[in-house]
Amino acid sequence: MNEGGEGEGESEGIGRPAPRPLTHLAQAGRRAEWTSMPGQPGGIVNPPVWRASTILYDDVAHLKAASGRDPHERLFYGRKGTPTAWSLADALTSMEPGAKGTMLFPSGVAAIACSLMAVLKPGDQLLMVDAAYDPTRGFCERMLKPLGIETIYYDPTIGADIAALFTDRTKAIFLESPGSLTFEVQDIPAITALARARDIVTLMDNTWATPLYFQALAKGVDISIVACTKYIVGHSDVMIGSATATPELWPALRSSAYLFGQMTSPDDAWLAARGLRTLGVRLAQHQAGALQVAQWLADRPEVARVLHPALPGCSGHDIWLRDFSGSTGLFTFILNGGGDKARAALIDGLAHFGIGYSWGGFESLALPVDPARYRSATRWEAEGPAIRLHIGLEDPADLITDLDAGLARFRASA
């Protein structure tokens, strides 16, 4: 158990090997100081919800001492968090070997924005993957650009050729793997090795795999960002984000988050920590269900292609096999011909799929997506319209029956 909370991921003590990931999920973040009371034996299982703004001190000397020293993970003021948030942050840190700490944010987008602001200043250039989550692109265009920070988009399949884009002003590379909507898998070790050699910071949106299936820092990433709204929470009822950093980047990340006043409510942190306990069983089920549905779709004549990293033929499938320890429930399929109307006919009659944004909950979702609208460095071309599916925890046989009827509606309408 990583009780030190520094997340070094090493085995502790002689003859006591580090627990495997599923064991670790059950134990992470449950330090005795957060689950027990001073002077009393025993303790509760989960760190409780500590709600606070004001922290009261015994006397002026204690007040001064508290503000004088590093207040991280010490009661200081509500905005610095309480043991509820520290416990979640500690658990997330310990899932990324090589990490020093995790900051929590009110959403995944806030985590992305604040992490970029932690490493960039006017005059810098940022290399941004062309398959990035759309609001990440929006932040670059509408916030970074007016600040004099230039964003250069690159092909998600660029790999080691990214070095050709480096200039004296290149300060950071943003990675997202697999890419949003189109699921290209990036060669993260190749890119981070080149970046390190040039002192370029790498940040990765690791929401799809979570640190359970992809340990970003171990692959050379400096800041690993997760929209915990998705799989960490897992129940579609909380917005929360996290950024986990190496010892080198931790001070900049922490101070950026602090200066922007970023924090999360203890109730939301508590729900996310509750979700984390079942992340392993949920992801295994999302993975199995999604593979079953994706393989079924791949054999259908109405379907031109399935974009799922675990299926051979998906861009970067070999890299996924090499670097990831699992796949999750989100993927896209491309229809063979047909237009918007036929796609809507397929989606509209689905009985077991909700129609809506976000993903990562226990419920299945279907979303019409148009990746070409969010590209600038590369051209997205496809045989027909695209649908992104999130495969929830329902029985995949029911989902397949549902999609079968949907494809019949598509044929009738196309």
Ligand X SMILES: *Cc1c(COP(=O)(O)O)cnc(C)c1O
Regarding 103 and contact with ligand X (CB under 6 A), the answer is: no
Contacts of 152 (CB under 8 A, 6+ apart): 125, 126, 127, 128, 165, 377
Stretch that binds ligand X, among 32-40, 59-67, 225-233, 344-352 (CB under 6 A): 225-233
Regarding 224 and contact with ligand X (CB under 6 A), the answer is: no
Nearer to ligand X, 113 or 194 (CB): 113
Regarding 374 and contact with ligand X (CB under 6 A), the answer is: no
Stretch that binds ligand X, among 101-109, 304-312, 373-381, 401-409 (CB under 6 A): 101-109
CB of 291 to ligand X, least distance (A): 20
Q: Which of 81, 83, 108, 406 binds ligand X (CB under 6 A)?
A: 108
CB of 240 to ligand X, least distance (A): 7
CB of 179 to ligand X, least distance (A): 9
CB of 160 to ligand X, least distance (A): 24
Regarding 182 and contact with ligand X (CB under 6 A), the answer is: no
Check 51, 79, 145, 198 and give the catalytic one.
79
Regarding 180 and contact with ligand X (CB under 6 A), the answer is: yes
Check 30, 230, 343, 388 and give the catalytic one.
230
CB of 132 to ligand X, least distance (A): 8
Q: Which of 119, 201, 239, 293 binds ligand X (CB under 6 A)?
A: 239
Active site residue 57: no
Q: Which of 29, 83, 178, 241 binds ligand X (CB under 6 A)?
A: 241
CB of 366 to ligand X, least distance (A): 15
Stretch that binds ligand X, among 104-112, 187-195, 212-220, 340-348 (CB under 6 A): 104-112
Active site residue 133: yes
Q: CA nearest 291: which of 310, 312, 316?
A: 310
Check 124, 130, 187, 205 and give the catalytic one.
205
Regarding 109 and contact with ligand X (CB under 6 A), the answer is: yes
Active site residue 230: yes
Residues that bind ligand X (CB under 6 A): 107-109, 133, 180, 205, 207, 227, 229-230, 239, 241, 358
Catalytic residues: 79, 133, 205, 230
